[in-house]
Amino acid sequence: MSAPHAPVWLAHIEQLADPGSLGLDPGGTGQDTLMLVRRGSDVFAYLDACPHLGGTPMAWRKNAYLNGDGSRIVCHAHGALFDIATGECLRGPCLGQRLTPLQTVVAQDGRLGVYLPHSPSP
C-alpha cells in the first residue's frame, strides 16, 4: 500500500462505543466500504471486505462488525472471526488470511482520520 499524504477525517471517537464499530462510506457508493473499530483508546480501520469470498461486506446490520462480547471482528456471512488489532482471521473459512488495514489517526480533539488508499496526492 502506498503512503497517502493526509488523513480524511471521517468520524469522532465519541461515535464509537468501547468496544464498538462503525461502518462508513467515504466514497459515497451507497454501501459502507470501511469499518472503524474501537478498543480502549485504540481505533483500527479496515476495508469492509471479507477475505473469504471476494470482499463480501461483513456487517449483518449497520455498524455491526463485532461479535457478541466485542472481542473480535466477525463476518456475518459465514462467521469468520478476526483479531481487532491485526485483522488476522483466527477462526473460520479464511483462517490465516487478513482484513485489509487502513492507517488511522486520532486527533487531540477526538476526530478520527483514515488514510484512504485512493486519497488524492497533493
Give residues in contact with ligand FES (CB under 6 A): 50, 52-53, 56, 75, 77-78, 80, 92-93
* CB of 48 or CB of 116, closer to ligand FES: 48
* CB of 82 or CB of 115, closer to ligand FES: 82
* CB of 7 or CB of 52, closer to ligand FES: 52
Smallest separation (angstroms) from ligand FES to the CB of 33? 15
* 18-51 CB burial, b ≥16 within 10 A, e <16: ebbbbbbebeeeeebbbbbbbbeeebbbbbbbbb
Write the Ramachandran bin of 87: left for phi over 0, alpha for psi from -120 to 50, otherwise beta: left
